[in-house]
Amino acid sequence: MRVQVCIIGGGPSGLLLSHILHRAGIDTVILERRSRAHVLGRIRAGVLEQGTVETLRAHGLGDRMDAEGFPHSGTYVAARNRGFRVDFERLTGKRVMVYGQTEVTADLYAARDADSGRIVDEAEGVTIHDAGGRPHVTYRKDGAEHRIDCDWIAGCDGFHGVSRATIPADVLRTVERVYPFGWLGVLSRTKPAAHELIYANNSRGFALASMRNEGLSRYYIQAPVDDPLEKWTDAAFWDELRRRLPSDVAETMETGPSIEKSIAPLRSFVAEPMRWNRLFLVGDAAHIVPPTGAKGLNLAVADVRYLSEALIAHYAGDDSGVDGYSDRALARVWKATRFSWWFTTLMHRFPEDGTFGTRMKEAEIDYLEGSEAAQAAMAENYVGLPY
Ligand code: FAD
Ligand code: DHB
């Protein structure tokens, strides 16, 4: 088979890239290692930047999001048993949208199916060949070997994919910080604790109260990454969460059985460059941010936006976009990496904090509460920097 762009990975990056390129008349195929049910069952991000929302709308993907998503014009930050609100809309003129990654992915699959887009699921042994010459990709499906020849390969295969590993070690530079804790996340069919998100710094560790809709809540607490999940019974989770949220919220919060529970590690990671010959890296394949501040999915959408513009221009005879893709994407990636690192550091307890470190974080949260300038800087990053 021959296509113009072979896309590895059918997560949000790969699906969105395929959808946008298809609408511009560019031919793609997606190779996804897992089953569709598995990809659609993953519970991940929940907050979309305004630019992400506009990108989805611009490509005909906004209808269900606009009907079922929840625009939020601010968020609460809490510490030492009290909270304050950062008003994004007043400070930046922008809002964010609470609409789960699971729903975005479902909408993307529906759109690709409606356009008869080619998605090969359960593709095994995906391998990239000759990215510097005549690029092609091989894989196995149902025991048979397949080969796809293409002009370009888009590595949208997440942190553990094959694309980044294809780039020679003397070309690829990586920077990484692994944080000394994880996030224990719970999804439950309960009324959200508040009408907006609450990010809480507490002496027992960070907590986040989030949501998916009026009847579905998403909560996270900072926890040791190697804690066995069995230790975190629902009762243990709710007790710990209540201790970390401001008491007025904790006292009125609805609790119930968890319908999903998992622990995720936190890391900052950037791989440079994001293009090697005819191979591009997109989304989590190139960079990971800790989830505080909800930047992971939004960065992936920004990469897709840049790459789709570049490829569309390439087929119209202009290569400046493909040549500039890596620098353009990385300029945004580093800023989001900084913001996610800053907000993670501010809101979590680290083993090395000591009294001085703790007092500095408390003082910075006090400063954030009292300073319009500090809130504006946070809000500008949270709602998403301009493309
Ligand atoms: P992915 O969603 O990882 O998709 C990559 C796809 O490639 C997957 O479907 C995978 O199966 C496929 N693949 C991998 N290897 C191969 C291969 N060899 N061959 C073929 N296909 C392959 N972000 C937030 O903003 N907030 C959150 O709360 C949040 N929580 C998260 C929780 C977890 C457990 C994880 C892993 C991520 C979380 N993120 C969160 C980050 C966010 O979900 C990602 O940034 C986003 O999914 C990136 O999309 P992507 O398409 O680039 O990568
Ligand atoms: C969610 C996740 C985040 O990382 C975040 O900063 C806000 C919300 C969520 O899953 O709802």
pLDDT tens-digit profile of 169-219? 999 999 999 999 999 999 999 999 999 999 999 999 999 999 999 999 999
Residues 258 and 186 sit within 8 Å (Cβ to Cβ) = yes
Residue 1: partners with Cβ closer than 8 Å, 6 or more residues away: 29, 146, 147, 148, 149
Q: Whose CA is nearest to atom 7 of ligand 2?
A: 294
Q: Indicate the helix (H) or strand (E) that contains 101.
A: helix 101-114
Q: Please state the φ and ψ torsions of residue 117, each to the nearest 5 degrees.
A: -65, 145
Output the CA angle 174-176-298, nearest 5 degrees.
Answer: 90
Select from 216, 217, 208, 221 the least CA-distant residue to 293: 208
Assign domain 179-265+349-383 one CATH number from 3.30.70.1450, 3.40.50.300, 3.90.1170.50, 3.30.9.10: 3.30.9.10
246 is catalytic: no
Arch. (CATH architecture) of 2-70+98-177+267-346? 3-Layer(bba) Sandwich (3.50)
Round to whole Å and give the CA distance between 20 and 39.
Answer: 20
| ipTM value | 0.96
Rounded Cα gap, residues 377 and 375, in angstroms: 5
d(CA 267, CA 255): 29
Q: Is 240 helix (H, G, I), strand (E, B) or coil?
A: helix
Mean pLDDT within 358-383 = 98
- Tens-digit pLDDT profile for residues 337-365: 999 999 999 999 999 999 999 999 999 99
Name the β-bridge partners of 207.
200, 221
* Ligand 2 pocket: which of 96, 105, 188, 210 to mutate (most atoms within 8 A of CB): 210
Interior CA angle at 285 toward 280 and 289, to 5°? 130
Global pTM reads: 0.97
What residue ranges do the domains of the chain occupy?
Answer: 2-70+98-177+267-346, 179-265+349-383
Digit-coded pLDDT (tens) for 80-138: 999 999 999 999 999 999 999 999 999 999 999 999 999 999 999 999 999 999 999 99
Q: How far apart are CA 221 and CA 208, in angstroms?
A: 6
Residue 166 corresponds to which amino acid? T
Ligand 2 interacting residues, C-beta cut-off 6 A: 45-47, 197, 208, 210, 218, 291-294
